[in-house]
A and B are shown apart, each in its own frame.
Chain A
Amino acid sequence: MARVPILRQRGYLIATIQAAMSDREAEGLQSDLMEEVSRYRARGIIVDVTALDVLDSFAARTLRTTAHMTRLRGAHTVLVGIQPEVAFAMVQLGISMEHVSTALDLEEGLAFLDGHVGHLGG
C-alpha cells in the first residue's frame, strides 16, 4: 500500500496527498499523523490536497476526524489546495469541514500556522 508522504518543516508536518488516495491510505495517513505529532511534538499540520480530483464524503470524514484527533494532541491542521471544482462538488454533496482550517495553498497554509500557532503560544 502506498503511503501519503509526510515532510517535517519548521516544526510543522506537511502531508501531500496524491491524486488517487484510497480509503486505506486515508486511514494510514490518520495513524501516521497521530504518531508523528507525538514523535516530533508538532504544533501544526498542513494537509495538501492540490492533487486530489475528488474529495468524497469518506475522504472528508477521515480528514476531519484526523484533524480533530491531532487537535486533541495539540496540533492545528490546515487543509490547503482544495480545487475550485472539488469545493463546488463538496458543497453540492453536503460535506462540511468544521474544526478544520483551510488556506488557498501551501504558502498561505504556512503563514496561517505561523500566525495561529504563534498566537496560541502567546
Chain B
Amino acid sequence: MTLVSAGHTGQVELPIASDTDIILARQEGRALAARAGVTATDLTLVATAISEIARNIVTHAGDGQIAMSIVEEPGRRGVMIVASDQGPGIVDVDQALEDGFSTGAGLGLGLPGARRIMDDFSVESQPGHGTKVIMRKWVGLVA
C-alpha cells in the first residue's frame, strides 16, 4: 500500500479536542474520500465512522489527532483514517469491540459500529499509553 502523493490535498491532519473538531474531521474525511472516488453511500459511512472514533477520543482521552490520507494498492484506491490519542488506553480491546460495551456515557456502539461500516479496521492500545485506530474504505479501480 502506498500513500498517494497528491500534495497537501492528499493528506489531512487534524487535532481533536472538542465537539466542533469532530464535525470538522468528518467533513474533511468526507471530502478526502470523495477525492479518492468513494461512492455516495460509502461517503456517509466514512463520515459516520470518523464521527464515532473522533468522539471516542474526546470522551475517553480528552484530546488526540486524526490523520487521513488517500491510499492506493494494485486495483484499488481508498481512504485511510488513523486516529490516535495518548489517553488511558483500552484494557481489553476485544471487549471494547463488542456491541454495547461502554465505559463512557455512550451507547457502546462507537468502535464495533465503526468496524462494521469500514472495510479494514484495527485497534492498537496499551493501557496508560493511548490508543490508535486505523481504518480504511476502498474503491475498486477498473483497469
Contact = CB atoms under 8 A, between A and B. Distances in A.
Given A57-B55, A89-B45, 8 more contacts: A20-B23, A54-B48, A85-B44, A88-B44, A88-B45, A93-B48, A93-B113, A95-B107
A57 B113 contact: yes
Interface of A: 20, 22-24, 53-58, 60-61, 83-86, 88-89, 92-95
Interface in B10-24: 19-20, 22-23
Contacts, number: 69
B109 interface: yes
A53 B30 contact: yes
A22 B27 CA distance: 13
Interface of B: 19-20, 22-23, 26-27, 30, 40-41, 43-45, 47-48, 51-52, 55, 99, 106-107, 109-110, 112-114, 116-117
Nearest to A84: B41
A112 to B, nearest CB: 25
A63 B80 CA distance: 30
Given A53-B47, A85-B44, A92 B110 contact: no
A61 B44 contact: no
Contacts of A22: 19-20, 22-23
A89 B27 CA distance: 16
A57 B107 contact: yes
Contacts of A85: 40-41, 43-44
Nearest to B102: A57
7 contacts: A20-B27, A22-B20, A24-B19, A53-B44, A57-B55, A85-B43, A89-B117
A49 B55 CA distance: 20
Most B CB atoms within 10 A — which of A23, A83, A95?
A: A23
A56 B52 contact: yes
